[in-house]
A and B are shown apart, each in its own frame.
Chain A
Amino acid sequence: MYRNLTIKQKQIVWAWAFLALPVLFYSVIRFYPTGNAMLISFQDWNLLGTRTWTGLDNYTTLLSDPVFWQVFRNTFIYLLLGTPVSLVVAFAIAYHLDKVRFMHGFLRMLYFLPFMTSAVAMAWVWRWFYQPVPVGLFNNALASLGIPQVNFLNSTTNALPAILAPAVWAGLGFQVIIFMAGLRAIPRSYYEAARIDGVSTWTVLWEITLPLLRPTIVFLVVFSSIGFLRIFDHVFNMTTNNPGGPLNSTKPLVLMIYQTAFSSFDMGYAAAQTVVLFIVLLLVSLLQLWIMRDR
Chain B
Amino acid sequence: MAFPTLKAWAVATAAGAASLITTPAQAVEIEYWQYFFDARVAAMDQLIEKFEAANPDITVTMTHFPYADYRTKVAAAIPAGEGPDVVQLFYGWLNDYVDADLIQPLPGDAFPVEAIDAEFFPMVQAMKGDGQYWALPTAVRSLALFYNERLMEEAGVEPPTNLDELIAAAQAMTKVDGAGNITQVGLTAGMTAQDHHWWREVLVRQFGGEPYLDDYKTVNYDTEAGRKALDFYVGLATDENPVTAFNFMDEPQAAFKAGRAGMHIDGSFRIGALESTRGLKWGVTELPANADGMRSNYSSYWVNAITTKAEGEKYDAAVKFMQYVTSDEAMQVWLDVVGELPAKPSVGMTDANANDPVFGPFIRGLEYAHTTKFADESGQRQAMVEMVERITLEGMDPGESLTLAAEAEQKILDDYYSGN
Contacts and interface: CB of A to CB of B under 8 A. Distances in A.
Interface of A: 44, 46-50, 127-128, 131-135, 143, 146, 148-149, 153-156, 241-242, 245-247, 259, 262-265
Given A48-B97, A247-B390, A247-B393, A134 B260 contact: yes
B107 to A, nearest CB: 23
B275 interface: no
Interface stretch (B19-27, B175-183, B202-210, B317-325): B175-183
A132 B68 CA distance: 31
Consensus secondary structure, chain A interface? loop
B389 A135 contact: no
B100 A263 contact: no
B378 A263 contact: yes
Interface string B75-113: 100000000000000000000110110100000000000
Given A134-B177, A242-B385, 4 more contacts: A48-B96, A154-B393, A241-B251, A263-B376
Given A48-B96, A134-B260, A143 B394 contact: no
Interface string B39-82: 00000000000000000000000000000100110010000000
B33 interface: no
A247 B389 contact: yes
B179 A127 contact: no
A44 B419 contact: yes
Nearest to B255: A135
Contacts of B182: 133
B260 A264 contact: no
B393 A132 contact: no
Given A47-B71, A148-B179, A154-B393, A132 B378 contact: no
Interface in B283-337: none
Contacts of A133: 177, 181-183
Contacts of A135: 249-250
A148 B182 CA distance: 12
The 5 closest A-B pairs by CB, nearest first: A48-B100, A241-B192, A133-B181, A49-B100, A263-B378
22 contacts: A46-B100, A46-B419, A47-B72, A47-B75, A48-B96, A48-B97, A48-B100, A49-B96, A50-B100, A132-B248, A134-B181, A134-B184, A134-B260, A143-B179, A149-B181, A154-B246, A154-B247, A241-B190, A242-B192, A242-B382, A264-B378, A264-B379
A94 B100 CA distance: 57
Which of B68, B179, B385 has the largest number of chain A CB atoms within 10 A? Answer: B179
Interface of B: 68, 71-72, 75, 96-97, 99-100, 102, 177, 179, 181-184, 190, 192-193, 245-251, 260, 376, 378-379, 382, 385-386, 389-390, 393-394, 419
A156 B393 contact: yes
Nearest to A49: B100
B303 to A, nearest CB: 16
B255 to A, nearest CB: 9
A146 B246 contact: no
A107 B205 CA distance: 62
Nearest to B379: A264
A50 B99 CA distance: 10
B389 A48 contact: no
Nearest to B247: A154
A247 B249 contact: no
Contacts of A246: 389, 393
A128 B190 CA distance: 18
Contacts of B247: 132, 153-154, 241
Residue among B97, B250, B390 with most chain A CB within 10 A: B250
Contacts of A47: 71-72, 75
A50 B379 CA distance: 23
Nearest to A44: B419
Contact of B179 (A146, A153, A242, A263): A146
Contacts of B249: 131, 134-135
A49 B78 CA distance: 11
A46 B96 contact: yes
A146 B178 CA distance: 9
A3 B183 CA distance: 85
A73 B102 CA distance: 40
Nearest to A131: B250
